[in-house]
C-alpha cells in the first residue's frame, strides 16, 4: 500500500489590487455646500425660495412679515433668529413639536445610532427598530388596535388607512363617508375626502365618497340606513383645518354603535389631534370608544424625523392583507420604518410618558383655555369664541366689521367675506413683530388663530403668550390695522 504524503500547504491565493476610482469626468455643478447654506442671509434665502420653491407662498410670508426672519437655531419652546431674538413657539408646526425643539434625550438617541453605524434601510431584512416601534404603538393604543403600518407623513398614514378600510369593507361596499371642513392630506387618494376646494382645485378625485356635516349623528344614521354601499367613515376626532371643532361625547359613542350595527368601518384621523395633544394619547379616548383604524404622524417623529403610522384592529388588517397572496398589496415603502426614524420615535414615546407630557397637555391646556376665556370676556366685540381640548386650541375673531366702531360697521360689513382672515393675519403678524410670539391659522375658517404649542409648554409660557395677546388687543382694532399697514410700507 502506497501512502501519499500530504503536500505542504502554501498560500496560493492571488492578490488582486482594487481598481483605482475612475478619474472624475463629470463636471460638478455649482452646488451650495452645507456651510454656505448655514451662512446664507435673508436676501439669499428669498432669492432661492422665489426661484426654486414657491413664489406664491412668498407673497403671504411677506404680508405676515415672516420673510424677514432667518432661524439660526431652536431649543425647547423657542426659535432663535439671526439677531439672537427668542421667538416663543405657539404654532408648534401644526402639532409636530410635542417635545419642543431639539429635546436632549431625542438628540442623544439619534447621535448614538449614528455613532454605532447601525442599519438605516433594511428592506431585505426584518428591522428590530420598526418591530419595536410597532409594539410600542400597539401598547399605547386601546382595544385591539395592534397592527401597524409605518410611513413618512400623515398623508401617507391616511392613505394606508383608507386603502386598508376600503379593502376590508369589500367591493360591495365601496363608498367612503367624510365630513364637511375635513382635512386628511393633500396626496391624490385622501384628496377625495379632504373638503377644501383650494386643495382639490381641478384634480380628478375619487368619486366613491359621500360628504356629511361634522358632528351630526342623525345625518350619519340616515345615510347608513339608506345606502347599503357605505363601507367606511373617515373623521378627524378634532377638526384642525376646520377651526378646532369638536363633536359632543354622545356623537362618538353613537357613531361606534351605528358602525357596529351597520357593519361600517370607522377610521379616526388623529394625525394632528393625537399623540397626547388633547390630554389623552388619542383624542377619541376621551369618549370611551375606539375606531377600527386610526392614524398618527406629526410629533410621532419626535420633532426630528418624518414618521407616520396607521394602526388597525388585527381582524380588519388580516381581512385586507392577511394571506401571503395579499400581504404585499400595501407593504411598507422604501422609507417606511427607517432605522434612525424608528429609534427617534421609540425614544420620543418613552419621553412622552417619562416626562408626563400627556398630563401636562391636559393641565396646561386647561390653564390656557381659562386665560383665553378671560380675554374673551375682556374683548367681547373682538373675540367670538375660544375652544379646544388640551394644547389644541382655537381662538375665533368676529367678522371684521363687528370689531369696528358702530359707525363703520354698515359700510364694512359688505366686505366681511373678502376680509375673512385679515384680523387673524394682522394679529399674527404683530404678535411676531412686537412680542416675539409665533401663532398659526386654520384652512377653512380664516377668522381662527390656531394654537398648538409643544407639550412641554408651562404656565409661564401661557402667561407670556396671553399677556402679549392682551397688550395687542388693548390697542384697539383701528390701531392694530394702522400698525399693520405701517409694517407693510417700511
- Phi and psi at residue 258, in whole multiples of 5°? -65, -40
Strand partners for 246: 238
- Phi and psi at residue 310, in whole multiples of 5°? -105, 135
Work out the number of other CB atoms within 10 angstroms of the CB of residue 334: 9
pTM recorded for the entire structure = 0.91
Distance between CA atoms of residues 435 and 420, nearest Å: 24
Question: Cβ distance 95 to 392 under 8 Å?
Answer: yes
User: CA 45: distance to chain centroid?
Assistant: 25
Distance between CA atoms of residues 100 and 89, nearest Å: 9
Query: CB within 8 A of 83, min separation 6: which ones?
Result: none
Reduce the secondary structure of 74-136 to three states and give it as a string: EEECEEEECCCCEEEECCHHHHCCCCCECCHHHHHHHHHHHHCCCCCCCCCCCCHHHHHHHHH
Segment (H or E) for 52: helix 42-52
In the numeric block, which cell numbers belong to residue 405?
366702531
Distance between CA atoms of residues 284 and 300, nearest Å: 17
The per-residue pLDDT string of the chain (490 residues; one tens digit each, 9 = 90 and over) reads 445 555 555 555 666 666 677 776 889 999 999 999 999 999 999 999 999 999 999 888 888 888 999 999 999 999 999 999 999 999 999 999 999 999 999 999 999 999 999 999 978 889 999 999 999 999 999 989 999 999 999 999 999 999 999 999 999 999 999 999 999 999 999 999 999 888 999 999 999 999 999 999 999 999 999 999 999 999 999 999 999 999 999 999 999 999 999 999 999 999 999 999 999 999 999 999 999 999 999 999 999 999 999 999 999 999 999 999 999 999 888 899 999 999 999 999 999 999 999 999 999 999 999 999 999 999 999 999 999 999 999 999 998 777 777 766 665 665 557 767 789 999 999 999 999 999 999 989 999 999 999 999 999 999 999 999 999 999 998 898 888 887 776 6
Distance between CA atoms of residues 123 and 116, nearest Å: 20
Question: Cβ distance 129 to 342 under 8 Å?
Answer: yes
User: What's the residue count for the chain?
Assistant: 490
Nearest to 436, CA basis, from 77, 63, 76, 45: 77
Q: Where are the alpha helices (DSSP H) in 355-489?
A: 357-378, 409-413, 416-419, 422-435, 459-473, 477-489
DSSP strand pairing (265-269 vs 293-296)? parallel
Dihedral angle, C-alpha 92, 93, 96, 98, nearest 10 °: -10
Signed CA dihedral, 433, 436, 440, 446: sign only = negative
Degrees to nearest 5, angle at CA 132 with 130 and 135: 110
Amino acid at each position: 500500500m502506497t501512502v501519499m504524503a500530504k503536500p505542504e500547504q502554501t498560500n496560493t491565493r492571488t492578490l488582486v489590487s482594487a481598481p483605482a476610482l475612475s478619474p472624475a469626468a463629470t463636471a460638478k455643478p455649482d452646488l451650495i455646500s452645507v456651510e454656505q447654506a448655514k451662512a446664507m442671509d435673508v436676501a439669499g434665502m428669498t432669492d432661492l425660495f422665489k426661484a426654486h420653491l414657491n413664489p406664491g407662498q412668498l407673497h403671504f410670508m411677506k404680508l405676515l412679515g415672516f420673510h424677514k426672519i432667518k432661524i439660526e437655531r431652536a431649543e425647547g419652546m423657542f426659535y432663535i433668529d439671526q439677531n439672537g431674538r427668542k421667538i416663543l413657539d405657539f404654532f408648534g408646526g401644526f402639532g409636530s413639536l410635542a417635545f419642543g425643539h431639539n429635546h436632549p434625550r431625542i438628540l442623544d438617541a439619534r447621535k448614538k445610532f449614528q455613532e454605532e453605524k447601525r442599519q438605516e434601510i433594511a428592506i431585505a431584512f426584518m428591522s428590530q427598530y420598526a418591530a419595536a416601534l410597532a409594539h410600542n404603538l400597539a401598547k399605547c393604543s386601546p382595544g385591539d388596535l395592534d397592527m401597524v403600518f409605518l410611513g413618512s407623513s400623515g398623508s401617507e398614514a391616511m392613505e394606508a388607512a383608507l386603502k386598508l378600510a376600503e379593502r376590508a369593507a369589500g367591493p360591495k361596499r365601496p363608498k367612503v363617508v367624510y365630513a364637511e371642513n375635513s382635512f386628511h392630506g393633500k396626496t391624490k387618494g385622501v384628496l377625495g375626502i379632504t373638503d377644501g376646494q383650494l386643495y382639490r382645485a381641478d384634480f380628478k378625485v375619487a368619486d366613491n365618497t359621500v360628504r356629511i356635516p361634522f358632528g351630526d349623528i342623525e345625518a350619519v344614521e340616515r345615510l347608513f340606513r339608506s345606502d347599503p354601499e357605505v363601507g367606511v367613515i373617515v373623521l378627524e376626532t378634532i377638526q384642525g383645518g376646520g377651526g378646532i371643532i369638536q363633536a359632543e361625547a354622545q356623537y362618538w359613542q353613537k357613531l361606534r354603535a351605528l358602525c357596529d350595527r351597520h357593519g361600517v368601518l370607522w377610521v379616526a384621523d388623529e394625525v394632528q389631534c393625537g399623540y397626547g395633544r388633547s390630554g389623552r394619547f388619542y383624542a377619541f379616548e376621551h369618549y370611551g370608544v375606539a375606531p377600527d383604524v386610526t392614524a398618527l404622524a406629526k410629533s410621532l417623529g419626535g420633532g426630528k424625523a418624518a414618521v407616520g403610522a396607521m394602526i388597525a384592529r388585527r381582524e380588519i388588517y388580516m381581512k385586507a392583507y392577511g394571506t401571503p397572496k395579499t400581504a404585499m398589496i400595501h407593504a411598507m415603502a422604501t422609507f417606511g420604518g427607517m432605522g434612525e426614524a424608528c429609534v427617534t420615535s421609540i425614544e420620543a414615546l418613552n419621553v412622552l410618558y417619562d416626562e408626563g407630557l400627556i398630563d401636562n397637555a391636559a393641565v396646561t391646556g386647561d390653564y390656557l383655555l381659562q386665560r383665553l376665556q378671560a380675554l374673551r370676556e375682556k374683548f367681547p366685540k373682538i373675540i367670538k369664541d375660544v375652544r379646544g381640548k388640551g394644547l389644541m386650541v382655537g381662538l375665533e375673531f368676529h367678522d371684521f366689521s363687528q370689531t369696528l366702531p358702530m359707525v363703520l360697521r354698515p359700510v364694512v360689513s359688505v366686505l366681511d367675506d373678502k376680509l375673512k382672515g385679515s384680523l387673524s393675519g394682522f394679529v399674527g403678524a404683530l404678535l411676531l413683530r412686537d412680542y416675539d410670539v409665533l401663532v398659526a391659522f386654520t384652512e377653512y375658517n380664516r377668522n381662527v388663530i390656531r394654537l398648538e404649542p409643544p407639550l412641554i409648554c408651562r404656565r409661564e409660557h401661557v402667561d407670556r403668550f396671553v399677556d402679549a395677546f392682551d397688550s395687542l388687543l388693548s390697542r384697539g382694532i383701528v390701531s392694530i390695522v394702522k400698525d399693520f399697514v405701517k409694517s407693510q410700507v417700511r
